[in-house]
Amino acid sequence: MKIRLENIVKRFDDNTAVNDFSAEIESGELVTLLGPSGCGKSTMLNMLSGILYPTEGKIYFDDDDVTYVSPEKRGIGLVFQNYALYPHMTVLENICFPLEIKKVPKKERIERAKKMAQLVHVDGMLNRKPGQLSGGQQQRVAIARALVKEPRLLLLDEPLSNLDARLRIEMREEIRRIQLETGVTTIFVTHDQEEAMSISDHIILMKLGVLQQYDKPQYLYDQPANCFVADFLGNPPINKIEGVAKDGKVLLGDDEVDSTIRVDNVPDNTKVFLSFRAESVILDNASPLKAKVVMTSVMGKEIITSFILGGKEVRGYMNSDVELKRDQEIGISFKKTGVFVFDFESGERYL
Ligand SMILES: Nc1ncnc2c1ncn2[C@@H]1O[C@H](COP(=O)(O)OP(=O)(O)O)[C@@H](O)[C@H]1O
Ligand SMILES: [Mg+2]
C-alpha cells in the first residue's frame, strides 16, 4: 500500500511537534523515520496509526483519505519499544489474540498464528509465557502478533531500544528479513543512524518536526542536504572545522584548503564549516595544508589518525608506510567525495 502525507502539522498547545511534513512512501518499502529524541518521530507514527489526528494536513492510504479514520479501521500492525505482550497468555495465545477480537474461527486463527510464529522463528516456544522468553524472543512475538492480521502497513516505534547491542543487530536483520518475506509496507522509527542505514530502502531524517532529507541511505550519506544531515550520519562522525570563504577558496586560519575545493558562489568573508569524512582524508606531504599528528589508534581492521587542522582535532583513515608520531607535521589533502562546505549560520550546503 502506498502512503501520501500532505502538509502535516501537529501542535500540542504552542509546541509544534511536526511542521509542514509532506512525503510519499512507495508500496512494499521499508522507510525509516530517523532523528534525535523529541524531533517528532512518534508523533508522526501515531498520526499514521490514528492514535493522534493532525492539526492540519491529510494522510492518504493509496487513494483513501484516512486522516480521521480510527486505528482499528486502518489495517495497520503496531510494534512498540516495550513489547506489551499479555503476561498471562502463552506465545500462541498472544499471537492469536488480534484474530480472536476479529472473530476469526478458532481453527483458522491457530493455523495463521502458527504460520506467523514460524516466520519470526518462535514456533519452538508456542506454549511458553512471555516471562519465559528473552527480550529478542518477546519482540519476535510482538512482531508476529502485529503481522497476523495481515496489515496493509506495519509501524514499528523504536522496537529494538530495549535490547542489548548484539541482539539489536541480530533483530534489525530479522526485521528486514521478515519485511522482505511478507512484502508489507513498513515504517520504522529509530534515533540510531546505523540501524536506519542498515535496513532501510529510504530514510526520512527529521529535526524539530521538520523533514530535512528523504533519500536512499547511501545518498543521504554521500550527498547530505545540509550540515545537520552530514553531522547526523556516519561513524565516526564527520569532521567539522570553522573556516572563511575568500576568492572562492576556503581558508582555515591563514591556510588555504586544497585548491580543488571551490566555493565560487559564496561571498567573501562568509563563515563556513569545512566538513569531511574520515575516509576522505589523504596523507599528502606535498600539500601546503599542514596538520599536526595527535595519535594513531587501531579501530578494528583500520588505523585512524587524529590530527590538529585549523585549530581543531579531527580524524582520518590514512595510508602510511611508516608509523606517524605525536607532534609530527603532515600534509593533508582530500578525496573528491565526502568533502562538503556548509554555511556556518544556516547549515545550507555550498559544496
Ligand atoms: N501528548 C503530548 N502532549 C504535549 N506534547 C507532546 C505530546 N507528545 C509529544 N509531545 C512533544 O512533541 C515533540 C515530539 O515528540 P515525539 O514525537 O515523542 O518525539 P520522538 O518520538 O522523535 O522522540 C516533543 O517536543 C514532545 O515533548
Ligand atoms: Mg519516540
- Asked whether residue 141 is assigned to any structural domain, the reply reads yes
- Ligand 1: residue of 10, 14, 15, 51 to mutate (most ligand atoms within 8 A of CB) is 15
- Whether 167 and 25 share a structural domain: yes
How confident is the model at residue 302, as a pLDDT? Answer: 82
- Whether 141 and 14 share a structural domain: yes
- The maximal CA–CA distance of the chain, rounded, in angstroms, is 78
Last residue of a domain, one of 195, 215, 231: 231
Pocket of ligand 1 (CB under 6 A): 12, 15, 17, 35, 37-43
- Of all ligands present, the nearest one to the C-alpha of 13 is 1
How confident is the model at residue 199, as a pLDDT? Answer: 97
Number of domains in the chain: 2
- Asked whether residue 36 is assigned to any structural domain, the reply reads yes
How confident is the model at residue 318, as a pLDDT? Answer: 87
- Ligand 1: residue of 9, 10, 11, 12 to mutate (most ligand atoms within 8 A of CB) is 12
**Residue 259, number of CB atoms within 10 A of its CB:** 11
Distance CA 82, CA 162 (A): 7
How confident is the model at residue 349, as a pLDDT? Answer: 97
**Domain containing residue 155:** 3-231
How confident is the model at residue 190, as a pLDDT? Answer: 98
Burial state string for 308-334 with b = 16 or more CB within 10 A and e = fewer than 16: ebbeeebbbbbeeeeebeeeeebebbb
- Whether 169 and 294 share a structural domain: no
**What is this structure's pTM?**
0.95
- Whether 216 and 262 share a structural domain: no
- Asked if residue 20 lies in contact with residue 9, where contact means CB atoms within 8 angstroms, the answer is yes
How confident is the model at residue 319, as a pLDDT? Answer: 80
Mean pLDDT of each 10-residue bin along the chain, 351 residues long: 98 97 98 98 98 98 98 94 90 96 96 96 96 93 95 96 90 95 97 97 98 98 98 96 94 80 92 97 92 89 91 91 90 94 97 93
Cα 189 to averaged position of ligand 2 atoms, centre (Å):
8
Segment holding 230, helix H or strand E: helix 227-232
- Whether 206 and 253 share a structural domain: no
Last residue of a domain, one of 231, 258, 276: 231
- Of all ligands present, the nearest one to the C-alpha of 210 is 1
Distance CA 209, CA 16 (A): 7
Q: Is 336 left (phi over 0), alpha (psi -120 to 50) or beta?
A: alpha
How confident is the model at residue 323, as a pLDDT? Answer: 85
Cα 209 to averaged position of ligand 1 atoms, centre (Å):
9
- Whether 291 and 317 share a structural domain: yes
Q: Look up cell 531500544; give the residue.
A: 161
- Whether 22 and 117 share a structural domain: yes
- Asked whether residue 348 is assigned to any structural domain, the reply reads no
- Asked whether residue 350 is assigned to any structural domain, the reply reads no
Q: What is the CATH number of the domain that holds 46?
A: 3.40.50.300
Cα torsion 48, 53, 54, 57: sign: positive
